[in-house]
Amino acid sequence: MVVRLSGTQPQGPKQLETLENKTVDGTQNTVRVNRGTTANRPIGPVIGDLYYNTELKDLEQYTEDGWMLVAKQVPRVPAIGSATLDGSNNASVSFTPSAYGQPASSYTVQSNPGSFTATGSSSPISISGSNLEVGTPYTFRVRSVGSYGQSAYSAYTSSVTPITMGSYESIQTVTVGAGGSSSINFTSIPLTYTHLQIRVISRGAQVATNFMRFNGDTNSNYSSHYMFGDGTYVNSGTLNSDKMYAFFSTTVGGFFGGAIIDILDYANTNKYKTIRSLSGGDENAAGYAEFLSGSWRNTNAITSITLVPGSGNIAEYSRFALYGIKGA
Amino acid sequence: MALTYEKIQTTTLSSAQASVTFSSIPATYTDLVLITNGKMVSSENALGVRLNGDTGSNYSSVAFYGTGASPGSSLRFNNGVEMYVARMGASTNCTSIIHLLDYSNTTTYKTALSRGSSSSIIMTTANTWRSTAAVNSVLVRGFSLFSDFASGCTFTLYGIKAA
């Protein structure tokens, strides 16, 4: 069909006039359409209506996406789907390309906030999690890209929120209250992690004599070795007993020792259990920095941990935080 | 899922620099962990750490280290003007981990543990800052400004939050 453009300039917005269809030369149709500026496009068009835009000097057709150039039509707006996050906080955005209009050569996904973009040739398209902030809700929209330009953006997806990956989780914390405490107990420890870590600040009545037991076992199934420096000399020792060395603490008021105790492969039922600890504290005239390791000669999974000072109580404000670490 | 172990900030040096400061540290975590990687410009050194810009003699440290010779050595710093933490070499990149425990509490003095190594030494230290103020800034430098950090050094601060 040959489209011949003719007609008169409309005087302001008006209904689209009936198109004239005439047979010319016996084989061709003539279609006469309204013409005018962008501002004077017809009011209330229906899909399929034609209009010659005198500003753009090109033929437009009214589509589901509005007035679009016929000869240089950009692809239609895709229909947005959903956004999901994988285990690395990468966002996967799904959409459905329009079944109409010019074909798209690619699609661009954009985040809000951040305006991070990613381009692909089909749904879904992934945006790297390294761009997304943990704890921030994100929505995404998509548009199609064709030979003559890109469509408008779609609506946004529902929001998704990147989270800290579950490799290190807080399980339980004990803070010692007034009067101190004779022991610290973690019970009903879930077996869903690979390793446990206890992070400690503590003060007690005695240095370097804080012990640990597992699952309430008070038999002589523990061994441990330590090595420390006190600012003047270094020393090492061992203990084969009904408990293992676990960490150092300070004794002078105001000063608190620290410890990071790793309990490795605690849920395994084929191995004796192994711990390692980095601990120490300094009282501005005395103190220790210490490494130690220990074993519990038992293959049971560890479900409870008891920490006890060598004598006296663990002081007020001491804190013991138990964390779980997941392997890949 | 609780937000338990989060990166707060990373600094990568584009040129040699005497010190790096993390400021406006949120008080929403329980512990801070500072991981350093890189090397010194001129010579191997321990690292010095100051908290909240305090340059007074309010720090003390005890260090325990080995160089391959038995049985190892220990040293201490009383009334220092910075913490003595391990460690950064001059010829190869080295990693240190510095734990600032219960940094935001306003009841106790602050405790830090560190461990690190170079091609010639392995070291752990325990440190105290005699202040009950919550820590809101951390400065790290070559101990006693013995050497600058070389270009490419990275410093990453993490926050750990207990339940």
Please give the Cα distance from A44 to A66 (Å, whole number).
11
pLDDT digits (tens, 9 = 90+) for A173-196: 999 999 999 999 999 999 989 999
Q: Which of A315, A309, A257, A261 lies closest to A288 in space, CA to CA? A: A257
Q: How confident is the model at residue A87 (pLDDT cuts 50, 70, 90)?
A: low
Instruction: Return the structure tokens found at A202.
Output: 């503590």
Please give the Cα distance from A268 to A245 (Å, whole number).
22
Considering only CB atoms, A234 lies closest to which of B1, B73, B102, namely B73
Give the per-residue pLDDT at A29. 61
Contact assignment for B78 to A201 by CB distance below 8 Å: no
Mean pLDDT score, A65-94 = 84
Q: What is the DSSP letter of A133?
A: P
Instruction: Return the structure tokens found at A218.
Output: 């008070």
Give the per-residue pLDDT at A191. 94
- Which residues between 6 and 25 in chain A have a beta carbon less than 8 angstroms from any beta carbon of chain B? none
* pTM of the predicted protein model: 0.69
Give the per-residue pLDDT at A33. 84
Give the per-residue pLDDT at A21. 46
Tell me: pLDDT of B1 over 50.
Answer: no
Rg, Å, chain A Cα set: 37
Domain covering B5-160 assigned CATH 1.10.287 in the classification: no
Please give the Cα distance from A198 to B37 (Å, whole number).
25
pLDDT digits (tens, 9 = 90+) for B52-102: 999 999 999 999 999 888 778 899 999 999 999 988 989 888 899 999 999
Neighbour count for residue A19 (Cβ, 10 Å):
13
Q: What is the DSSP letter of A243?
A: S
Give the start-to-end residue ranges of the domains of chain B. Answer: 5-160
Give the per-residue pLDDT at A13. 45
Considering only CB atoms, A280 lies closest to which of B4, B113, B161, namely B113
User: Which of B97-100's residues contact partners 24+ apart within 8 Å by CB, and which partners?
Assistant: B97/B33, B97/B34, B97/B35, B98/B33, B98/B34, B98/B35, B98/B36, B98/B47, B98/B49, B98/B140, B99/A199, B99/A258, B99/A260, B99/B31, B99/B32, B99/B33, B100/B31, B100/B32, B100/B33, B100/B34, B100/B51, B100/B135, B100/B138
HSE-CB at B25 with a 13 A cutoff on CA atoms is 32
For B143, phi and psi rounded to 5 degrees?
-55, 130
Lowest average pLDDT, out of A64-73, A115-124, B51-60, B148-157, goes to A64-73
- Which residues between 97 and 136 in chain B have a beta carbon less than 8 angstroms from any beta carbon of chain A? 99, 101-102, 105, 107-109, 111-113, 115, 124-128, 130
Q: How confident is the model at residue A147 (pLDDT cuts 50, 70, 90)?
A: confident
Residues in A closer than 8 angstroms to B78, CB to CB, are 284-285
Contact assignment for A201 to B60 by CB distance below 8 Å: no
Tell me: pLDDT of B112 over 70.
Answer: yes
Buried b (16+ CB within 10 A) or exposed e, A97-132: bbeebbebeebbbbbeeeebebeeeebbbebebebb
Q: CA-based diameter of chain A, in Å?
A: 113
**Three-class DSSP category at A135:** coil
**A261 contact partners, CB below 8 Å, separation of at least 6:** A197, A198, A199, A200, A212, A246, A247, A275, A276, A277, A279
pLDDT digits (tens, 9 = 90+) for A221-241: 999 999 999 999 999 999 999
pLDDT digits (tens, 9 = 90+) for B10-65: 899 999 999 999 999 999 999 999 999 999 999 888 999 999 999 999 999 999 99
End-to-end CA distance of chain A: 64
Contact assignment for B113 to A231 by CB distance below 8 Å: no
For A182, phi and psi rounded to 5 degrees?
-85, -15
Considering only CB atoms, B3 lies closest to which of A134, A289, A317, namely A134
DSSP chain B: ----EEEEEEEE-SS-BSEEEE-S--S--SEEEEEEEE-BSSS-EEEEEEETT--SS-EEEEEEEE-SSSS-EEEEEEEESSEEEEEE-SSS-EEEEEEEETTT-SSS-EEEEEEEE-SS-EEEEEEEE---SPP--EEEEEGGG-SPBPTT-EEEEEEE---
Contact assignment for A260 to B113 by CB distance below 8 Å: yes
- Rounded to a whole number, what is the distance in Å from the CA of A145 to chain B's nearest CA? 37
